[in-house]
Structure 1
């Protein structure tokens, strides 16, 4: 019977320790690896452009983030399993780097992939589903439709190949493993700036400035 109250008391003490150390931990994590902070923020909210740790709790990491507008979003990244001590924070945060920088797409990737698929399908197949692309090319370019489509396809391949090579080099410079480097390279080849845009934001991370809230009040 006495064990349950003891466990609850231990958790209260642990929460109190995190409340006390949270401001210090925020400053350390933001200074140590702002790239991971932004990566975690974009996993929760793809529109994040800048981010900053605003609180460290036993069960979650609190992150403040902004996108294109100055409106700030409060995000919460769960610790699974919950932390067992304040001293565990740096190790657990470092372990999240791979997850934070995993290959991903921006929202803009969807229309880009659709456009590329339509262009390739119209050029290399006779499928009726792509007839509208061929009709549009004939309307816009008349007798030059075939040549223009071939030029667009060649340009798309060249541009995406160059972007993919740059993405691979950028991912490697971030210290990612071979699987992640390959993932970013392939996704960028498929979606172009739809994947490269997110990677370049992570590589050129700047910590969200002037965030007045740091630490958690219990």
Structure 2
């Protein structure tokens, strides 16, 4: 399991000349790091002196957001493993025997099935990563100012994850037939990447203003 590797071992495996883990797994790890950083900001704020004057509604919103970021961290790690496993399955499908008509049919069926998974996982990562922005905005607005730079790093990492996963969507779409569903998927992914870019820039701008006391 990739998630059980140490950071040192994971980066070594990532750098080896093997198809997996690759960019998809790295993007998922980036998302998980973003979620962990956001949880850290909440943990340095909730039940601390800095939040003593916050209304109960704000504290409640932060606690709910923290639960979501903790769940996101686990979700992204799950997708990290699924991304690598799906591509391994596709490679196994391509290596299946293709001598007889029956073997060719079974091989094609396995390839088609694996291609769907290889495309769906980065698509899910794009969507699930974008969903974390709501919690990140709460952390940026109300989080401990001594940890506000960590919210900025989280925004950069979550956008990086979205862009990375989007590239995996695009490369898989490039090898698929052109149809309405795939065109729509490309357009929807483009839209999320653009929205993420704007949100990331907004959050980083707020973080910088808070660092320099302009907010």
TM-score normalised according to structure 2 size: 0.30
- Greater helix share, 1 or 2? 2
Larger Rg: 1
TM-score normalised according to structure 1 size: 0.30
- Greater strand share, 1 or 2? 1
